[in-house]
Structure 1
Amino acid sequence: MKYNPDKHHRRSVRLKGYDYTQAGAYFITICAQNRECLFGDVVDGEMRLNEIGLIVRDEWLKTAILRPSVVLDEYVVMPNHIHGVIIITDDCRGTLHGRGTLHGRGTLHGRGTLQRAPTIEQFGKPTSNSIPTIVRLFKSATTKRINEHRGTPGMPVWQRNYYEHIIRNDASLNRIRQYIVNNPIKWGLDRENPVVGVGLE
């Protein structure tokens, strides 16, 4: 089924009142524009990145290098999207130890939302360690490098929106990790796979 922008759209719902810079773990999914398979192919249940996919992977890994309070957990670059767990640490509210167990006054909590990066007029100036800012800068850096690589200045690479889920607890974190690890194996049934043609409603 061909991608239909009227059907396969992503609603934008921000969790009101939630501080997206606070200590916690977040499951992020960012999709390519029109679900176009730009980043490589799944072969025999394994993701094989092409040169564009390697750019996406490299910029994702830079996120933790550029931000000391950010830890990257499980992630995978798929043919037309990336899944990843971002952990924001904050010594004032608690410290994340190991692969995501939060001790201290902080907790892993929340619910899934479909997120549109807020405008300054809506929510004030975004902070450098907020999830919207991290995603925005990741998209910007990858888009610039990809367009330089393929000689397509100004071409969009990513959908405007992205999926974000505030992880409640360790059990949820472990389920999400397993989902990410298994994503290439289940690509034939993935709703982001254009051949499947389901898409997100």
Structure 2
Amino acid sequence: MVRYRRNFVPGGMFFFTVTLDDRMSSVLVDHVDELRSAFRVTRAERPFEIDAIVILPDHLHVIMRLPDSDSDFSGRWKRIKSAFTHRLAASGAPICRNHRGEYALWQRRFWEHTIRNDADFERCADYIHYNPVKHGLVAAAIEWPYSSLHPYVRAGILPPDWGGAGEISGSFGERGD
């Protein structure tokens, strides 16, 4: 078995795919306020910046930038997942448990890619913003409410009709790509 080694870069910028265990679930969009709260709590405890994000029913993609002296993105993801799971459980939402009695909401691991330069950032951000169209959730990227595309459009970085047609290609850690 190949041991996967993560690229821990202090102050690095990373593209992540984080997925629910149940790929048929819609819990992330059904409980988006709890997810946003989990991100806020984690950012208050362990700062990071979000440069692009999309929240889909069963997974999310994020470009995260860490502080200059910090490389612990794994700890941040552990905290985000835990905070969301506990908020969801406290709300009374049913969450399955595994054979050890632990909540079985998230896949144990996540996919990570180190952003290497501006072109790599743009490619990953485009992929994030186009993902709802790719999955057939909307006809145009601007129609998806849980995306950082909206601030990009408000800032004039991308036009409102961006991602309405065409396809963004690449493999970014999703099954079936």
Q: Is the pair's TM-score, using the shorter chain for normalization, greater than 0.5?
A: yes
TM-fit CA distance, 1:21: 5.2
Which residue number in structure 2 is paired with residue 107 of structure 1?
A: none
What's the C-alpha RMSD, in Å, of the aligned pairs? 2.7
Deviations 1:72-95 (A, max 9, x none): 1111110100110110121x6xxx
| Counterpart selection for 2:64 from 75, 86, 106 | 86
**Number of matched pairs:** 134
Deviations 1:52-91 (A, max 9, x none): 23312332244333324x111111110100110110121x
1:121-132 mapped onto 2 (5 Å cutoff): 130-132=72-74
Higher percent of residues as helix: 2
Which residue number in structure 2 is paired with residue 35 of structure 1?
A: 23
Higher RCO (Cα < 8 Å, 6 or more apart): 1
Query: Where do 5+ consecutive residues of structure 2 fail to align?
Result: 138-173
Which residue number in structure 2 is paired with residue 141 of structure 1?
A: 83
Higher percent of residues as strand: 1
1:199 alignment partner AA: R
Contact 2:42 2:79 (C-alpha < 8 Å) held by counterparts:
no
Contact 1:72 1:86 (C-alpha < 8 Å) held by counterparts:
yes
2:60 alignment partner AA: I
1:162 alignment partner AA: F
* Residue 13 of structure 1 pairs with residue 4 of structure 2: yes
Scaled by the length of structure 2, the TM-score of the pair is 0.65
Contact 2:46 2:76 (C-alpha < 8 Å) held by counterparts:
no
Which residue number in structure 2 is paired with residue 4 of structure 1?
A: none
Which residue number in structure 2 is paired with residue 199 of structure 1?
A: 175
Scaled by the length of structure 1, the TM-score of the pair is 0.58
